[in-house]
Chains A and B, each alone.
Chain A
Amino acid sequence: MTLPSRRVRRIPLNAAAVVTVVVCLFPVYWMVSTAFKPSRDIQSAEPRLVPYTWTLDHFRRAVQADGFELFWRNSILVTLGAVLLSLVVALGASFAVARLRWRGRRQFMLLVFVAQMAPWESPIIPVYIISRDTDMLDRLPTLTLVYFMITLPFTIVVLRGFLATIPPELEEAAQVDGCTRTGAFVKVALPLLAPGLMATSLFGFITAWNEFAYANFLIIKQQDNRTLPVWLSSFQNTFGTDWGATMAASTLFALPALVIFLLLQRHVTSGFAAGAVKG
C-alpha cells in the first residue's frame, strides 16, 4: 500500500470529521457571531458568515437589561450551592458503598438508580405545595435543595465508579503506617479522587445551571430571585426584535458552562483513562 493511496483513502474519513465539527460548532458559532454583529447586518437579506463589523452593543444591552447581573449571580449561587452540597453528601455515600460492607448496600444502590431515572419534572406541583407549606416559596435555598436532589443520584453513581478505580490497598498501606481509616482515606484516596470530583461536579453544574421548570414555578413574587434560564426564556419579551441582544445574553449564559467544561475536560478524560487502565 503506497502512501498517496492511503491519503486518498482517508479523504472520506477526514471529510466526515470536518462535517462533524461544523455541525457541532455551527449553532455555537452562530450564536456568538450574531451577538457581535450590528443589528443592521443581522436583519439583512444577505446573511454573513463572518461579521463585517464587530460591535459590543448587544452585550451592553444584555448586561444592562434589568437584573441581568442579579440573575447571573442567583444562578451561580444556586448552582454552586447545589453542586457542593451533593458532592459532600455523595462522597460519604459513595465511600460507604465502595469501601464498606453493610446490609442493604445493594438496595441502597437500587434506590439511587431509581432516583437517577425519576422524572423529576412530574412532582413539581407537590414540591410547590410542600415549599408553600414550609414557607420556602420564592427563596433561592429551595431551588438549591431541588437541584441538590436532581444532581445527587448521579453524583453518587459517578463518584462510586471513580472510587472503585482507586485500589483500597493504598489506603490499607497508609493504615499500616498508623493512619486511621478516615485519615488514610483523606490523605491517600481523596487526592486521587480529585479528577473524579471535578468531572462529577461538571455534570452537576450543567444540570443545575440549565434547570428551568422548577425555577419558573417556585419563584413567584420575588422576581429578583429568578435565575438565568427563566429570564432567558422570556427574552423575546425583554428584547423584542433584538435578536442580537438575545444571542448576546445566550452567549453570556452559556459561557460559564463552556468555560468550565473546557477547563475540566482534561480531568474528565484523564480520570476516565485512569479508570480504564486500571480496569
Chain B
Amino acid sequence: MKKIILALATSAAVLGFAAAASAQDKTKICFIYVGSKTDGGWTQAHDIGRQELQTHFGDKIETPFLENVPEGPDAERAIERMARSGCALVFTTSFGFMDATIKVAEKFPDVKFEHATGFKSGPNVATYNSRFYEGRYIQGLIAAKMSEKGVAGYIASFPIPEVVMGINAFVHGAQSINPDFKVKVIWANTWFDPGKEADAAKALIDQGVDILTQHTDTTAPMQVASERGIKAFGQASDMIAAGPNTQLTAIVDTWGAYYIKRTQAVLDGTWKSEQVWDGLKDGILTMAPYTNMPDDVKTLAEEAEAKIRSGELHPFTGPIKKQDGSDWLAEGAVSDDGTLLGMNFYIAGVDDQLPK
C-alpha cells in the first residue's frame, strides 16, 4: 500500500513539474483593460491588438487579460495580481492606470510594464501612445469642406491634455480651409454612456451643427447623426456599421504591430524602457476608408494623410495663436511634444471655454 502511495505521489510530482515546465516555456504577456473587450471602441482596439499578438507568436506565448478594471485603487490590485502570476510583460491600457502601474512596477523590478497614454515611466515601465491628433487634423479638413453651415459639433469626454489636443487639432485643420469655421463643444464628463452621448449629439444638432465628431467611446452619436441625416466621424474603431451613409472616416487605433514588436524584444532579452509616441507613419493609427464624400475632398484628405506620414506636414505648424490672443507658434514653427502632452489651453477659434 505504502509503495502504491509513494508511486502515485512521485508520478504526481513528476506530472506537476512537467506542467510547470510547459507553463514556463510560454512567456506570459498580460493586459489590463479599463472597459469591456467588446466595447466597440477603445478597449476593443487593444483586444484586437492582443489577438494579433497571440496569432503572431502562437504557442510561444500566453496572453491573459483582465477586463473592466476600474481606474483607482482596484487597478493596483489587478496589476499586482497579474505581476504575481508570472507575467513577463504587462500592458496597462488606460491613462488612469498610470500611478498604479508605477507603484506595482517598483515592487516587481523583474517584470516589465508598458503604460498606454501616460507620462510617467521608470526603469521597468515604458510608455506608448498614438498621435491621434494627426487623424483629428485630417477630420478638421474634411469637416470644413463638407459642412454647409460651417459649424461642427464636438462631443468631448474629460478636459485632459489628450482631448484638448484633439479639439485644437480639429479646429486648426478646419480653419486652415475655412477661417470662419466654428466648433461647438459639449463635455459629457464620461467616456462611456450611450444615452448621454446620444443626448449630447441631439443637443448639438438641434443647435444647428451639420457635422459631428466625438471623443467618447460608443457609437450612439454616430447613430443619432445617421438618424438626423448629417455626417459624422468615428472614434477609436471603425464605426461604419453604425452609420453606413454617415461616417466620413474614423480614427482607428491599431496596436497589434507595437505589441508584437515589444513582445519580440522581451523574448530576445532586448527590452528597454522607452517613451514611444507613434503616429500615422508607424501604423499605430490608421484612418478608416474615406466614405460618403465627393472625390475632391477625398483627394484632399488622402494628400494630407500622405504629407503627415512623410513628415512634410505637422498638424501644429504656426502661425497659431492661443484663445486669449497671445502667440503660441510663430510662422513655420512646429510644436514640441512636451507642450502637446501637457496641453491645457485652446487655440484661437475654439468657440468654448476650457473647463478648469
Do A and B interact? no
Q: Which A residues are within 8 Å of any B CB, using their own CB?
A: none
